[in-house]
Amino acid sequence: MNELGGKERFDAASLRRRIAEPETDATSATDESDQPSVLNPLARQIARQYRDENYSPTLLIGQIRLLEFASLLAINLLAAAMLLFAAAPLGRIAVLSLGSALTVLLLQLADTYHIPMLRSARRSRGRVAAAAALGILASAGGLYLVEGQRLAAGEYLLWLAAGTLFLLVERQLIAFGIQHWARNGIMERRAVIVGGGEPAKQLVRALEQQSDNDIRICGVFDDRGSIRSPAVIAGYPKLGTFAELVEFARLAHVDMLIIALPATAEARILQLLRKLWVLPVDIRLAAHANQLRFRPRSYSHVGVVPMFDILDKPIRDWDSVAKRAFDIVFALLALALAWPIMLGAAIAVKATSKGPILFVQKRHGFNNEVIDVLKFRSMYTEQADPTAKRAVTKDDPRVTPVGRFLRKSSIDELPQLYNVLRGDLSLVGPRPHSVYAQTGERRYVDVVESYFARHRVKPGVTGWAQINGLRGELDSDEKIRMRTSYDLHYIENWSLLFDLKILFLTPIRLLKAENAY
């Protein structure tokens, strides 16, 4: 087994680019990812077991870091006040803050912020005590440099004992909590094995051999028959085909798909990924059984099992927390500024035509879930089309005079700020389309195979496609492809600054809109 040199046969980055390549022949696009395959009773039952969301280890570790920093700073400030008998000046607060941050950094460098270490407090006691000693020593040294205060050995030991005892007790309580959450399935990474046969069996065995493994295998999916892929693999049932896996992952809360195929089968992997990349999950290719050996940086690891990272779930963990905070803050700000406009629109809608003020439409949300999206009613009630199969066109007689102005100015979409606060929508993201939206006689997914990859993130009130002129009627294949392309570009390049740019440009670009009727 030779280490490959400069050019490796498996290139994950190239594979990702090929997955996202647009279809040149619209008739070749299929709807396999959207067809709701009928799951067998066992698969449906298992999917229901994993319906509830689990807790992200990454979020937990970040919260533990913040807790330890804040607690150590409080202990350091209290100890300094008691030992020095003086009010804390700003210089002391700065020094002790740096000392607390240094302690957390040392704990990070000592690898104590990993789930296996946090789950077993005994394994990390020495490292925790050493980090506490060095951090408090640095804090005491800083106080001497800034304030000229020298502590006696006994005072330093008392300070050290308080900080170390807190960390050891806190780590023990965290270990109890993690063990309890693991037993109850609250904190685990749920994985599905994609592909059967001997490679899948070896993968399952490798994962199960790790005593501190946080992976929960939900089942196995494979297209092959029972001769090449038995019904039960290493104790786990084969739950269905690859097409049925998409439906399973939309019913269950799955974190990771692990493909048990050789890295040399790139054509088959690519074909498989074109079905699976519409899902908001991590997709990994198991590398434990490959006869090829790549450079270490080519791999990530699940425990000790090497993996190739094919696709990552977009906007995850702390990014999702930051985006949600962004949405809430700016949605509340927008409501505070726009409520007179919304009140005036509501009065105008009610006064000029019969029917409700708001119109509720079923649209596709995150992971293809169906959500109720709010709008000011812009059509005559008796001519309204909740399915949106027939797109609104220029001078459409179904649209009221007030509704035409509301749609042109996008004021009709301001009630979607409540969808943002409710968590159905984000302020910025791919625009949600009606469940039944189509152009002519074809649904959008029949035109663009990657269409449902837009739903890997929460849809938005505004988006990258909209500020680039792609709003309103989608009356051609090219418009659908372009909007999907812009949406996928947004997902792959997301950042809070990108969201802020789109939000800032939205009212400017809306003034130039020509194809919103």
Question: In 50-124, which ranges are continuous DSSP H helix?
Answer: 57-84, 90-109, 115-119
pLDDT in tens, 114-157: 888 888 888 889 999 999 999 999 988 888 887 777 778 888 88
pLDDT in tens, 42-87: 888 888 888 887 788 888 999 999 999 999 999 998 888 887 666 5
Amino acid type, 96: L
Comparing 406 with 301, the larger pLDDT belongs to 406
Contact 431, 468 (CB under 8 A): no
- For residue 222 the two structure tokens come to 């494979």
Mean pLDDT score, 448-472: 86
Using the predicted structure, report yes or no on whether residue 187 has a pLDDT greater than 50. yes
Using the predicted structure, report yes or no on whether residue 205 has a pLDDT greater than 90. no
Cα(231)–Cα(225) distance, integer angstroms: 9
Task: Delineate the domains of the chain, giving CATH numbers in brackets.
Answer: 12-54+188-313 (3.40.50.20), 57-183 (no CATH), 318-510 (no CATH)
Comparing 262 with 136, the larger pLDDT belongs to 136
Beta bridge partners of 372: 362
φ/ψ bin of 473: left (φ > 0), alpha (ψ from -120 to 50), beta (otherwise): beta
Contact 428, 461 (CB under 8 A): yes
What pLDDT score does 517 carry? 53
Q: Which of these ranges, 39-48, 210-219, 244-253, has the smallest mean pLDDT?
A: 210-219
What pLDDT score does 298 carry? 56
Comparing 462 with 442, the larger pLDDT belongs to 462
The torsion defined by the Cα of 237, 242, 243 and 245, in degrees rounded to 10, comes to: 50
Comparing 122 with 264, the larger pLDDT belongs to 122
Q: What is the DSSP letter of 6?
A: S
Contact 403, 379 (CB under 8 A): yes
The band of 272, judged by pLDDT with boundaries at 50, 70 and 90, is confident
Contact 120, 212 (CB under 8 A): yes
Using the predicted structure, report yes or no on whether residue 457 has a pLDDT greater than 80. yes
What pLDDT score does 108 carry? 94
pLDDT in tens, 309-350: 888 899 988 999 999 999 999 999 999 999 999 999 999 999
State the pairing for strand pair 442-443/460-462.
Answer: unpaired
Q: Specify the DSSP element, H or E, that contains 359.
A: strand 358-364
State the pairing for strand pair 256-259/189-194.
Answer: parallel
What pLDDT score does 112 carry? 92
Amino acid type, 492: E
